[in-house]
Amino acid sequence: MDRATVRSRVDDVWEREIVPALVDYIRIPNVSPAYDAGWAAAGHMDAAVELARAWCAARPIEGLTVDLTTLEGRTPLLLCEVPATPGAHPDDTVVLYGHLDKQPPMHGWRDGLGPWEPVIDDGRLYGRGGADDGYACFAALTAIEALRLGAGRHGRCVLVVECSEESGSPDLPAHLEQLGDRLGTPSLVVCLDSGCADYRRLWTTTSLRGNLIGTLRVDVLTEGVHSGTAGGVVPSSFRVLRRLLDRIEDPDTGRLLLPELQVDIPAERRRGIEAAAADLGPELVFPYAGSTRSPHEDPVDMLLAKTWEPSLSITGIDGLPPTSEAGNVLLPFTTATLSLRLPPGVDTDVAGRALTDALEADPPHGASVRFEVQDAAPGWDAPPTAPWLAGALDAASRAEFGGEAAGTMGEGGTIPFMEMLGRRFPEAQFMISGVLGPGSNAHGPNESLHLETGRRVTASVAHVLDAHAHRSTT
């Protein structure tokens, strides 16, 4: 493979075609179905998919087919197939993955930025969904295109682009059933929906936490009453909810207390975290406000906490009026959305039952308490990396990132498709990578795509596809 030709083609397509496409894509508010019940009628998802479909169909890749599959009541799925190059085994399949649905807009964008208005500033493309993960389908086909132009090889490639990932991929199993054997039996999975700990090397993800989302509701009254009349007599629903949360989380450290949410961290993963922490050191930072700091001072503990330990976030509250409208009323109920990140290996059904038992049993003051699991997705731990893939990742990183060896680390987020594929194809190898590095702020305000990293990751995929094809013929 001519690496110079590959990188030149990648850079050219990114500048002339991918960035303009992403600018148009960011302007489409195609929020994932979990956050927009009217998504189908709004038409934003259809617009985003058509933009991607038309772009993919126009690629000058011999034998490329682009199909759009639809199922009643579900988000669409885009499927692109590219036959193997001469010299590669025609049935040795690579599955590449991305998604087109987006998180909600979120408040707090800085002046001059917004979720649906793309802005390029200091080498970053700002706007919702560009980095997470709208760029993936464009990058995947560009890698194949550049690889072919550079006289490289690749196996049969199947690009799967779904539209419900940010909702936990509820529509994906139905699409996979509909596809039947069109995926084949992949020996390599490439996913570009993950993160990177820095922008100095190629990072791949070795594990993903699962997710469990539920609502905890506390009722103390059938209607609000004057706080001067009832305060001190009727228990506060917020205080009861706060006490219930203390049953499952240490209020001082954030450590989760239920054994059903814990796993023994594999020694190999712990060693990988220690190596990553030694290299990253003080770069493990977040946009803290004021003098806020992590309860963890050691970088190893930080990485363990974000990849192999459970955590709880309160991501929404009902029953509380905004402060500008708050009156002297003791509120009848408080409902909180609990988002738990669970380590690989935790059974989400067992975790859900344990949470329900802990939160509903013997409620303070006899309050009415109800916990309901809304959604759950298990975590995932990668199989051992084959020597050919480890070598290809290192070679790609050194070639495209200025000489740095590849890095590996677990991620705290969830990509349901990886667990589905890992369970269905246990012999497959995985390259899970992405552009969500420092400052990218996926899901939050000021989401941005580091453009140079996008180009480098794209070229790295070409390296890995070529190495995979040569592995399959030697």
What's the pLDDT at 403?
A: 87
Cβ count within 10 A of residue 215: 15
What's the pLDDT at 282?
A: 53
Question: pLDDT in tens for each of the 474 residues of the chain?
Answer: 999 999 999 999 999 999 999 999 999 999 999 999 999 999 999 999 999 999 999 999 999 999 999 999 999 999 999 999 999 999 999 999 999 999 999 999 999 999 999 999 999 999 999 999 999 999 999 999 999 999 999 999 999 999 999 999 999 999 999 999 999 999 999 999 999 999 999 999 999 999 999 999 999 999 999 999 999 999 999 999 999 999 999 999 999 999 999 999 999 899 989 988 887 765 566 888 999 989 988 889 999 999 999 999 999 999 999 999 999 999 999 999 999 999 999 999 999 999 999 999 999 999 999 999 999 999 999 999 999 999 999 999 999 999 889 999 999 999 998 999 899 999 999 999 999 999 999 999 999 999 999 999 999 999 999 999 999 554
Give which of 50, 55, 48 is closest to 139, Cα–Cα.
Answer: 55
Please calculate the CA angle 242-369-345 and round it to the nearest 5 degrees.
Answer: 75
Instruction: Report how far residue 359's alpha carbon sits from residue 355's, in angstroms, rounded to the nearest whole number.
Output: 6
Give me the domains of the chain, ranges plus CATH numbers: 3-208+380-471 (3.40.630.10), 211-270+298-377 (3.30.70.360)
Instruction: Report how far residue 129's alpha carbon sits from residue 116's, in angstroms, rounded to the nearest whole number.
Output: 9
The phi, psi pair for 64, rounded to 5°, reads: -65, 130
What's the pLDDT at 140?
A: 98
- Do the Cβ atoms of 313 and 339 come closer than 8 Å? yes
**Is 212 strand, coil or helix?**
strand
What's the pLDDT at 277?
A: 86
The phi, psi pair for 436, rounded to 5°, reads: -85, 80
329-375: pLDDT as tens digits: 999 999 999 999 999 999 999 999 999 999 999 999 999 999 999 99
**Is 295 strand, coil or helix?**
coil
Q: Is the pTM of this model over 0.85?
A: yes
What's the pLDDT at 457?
A: 98
Identity of the amino acid at 55: W
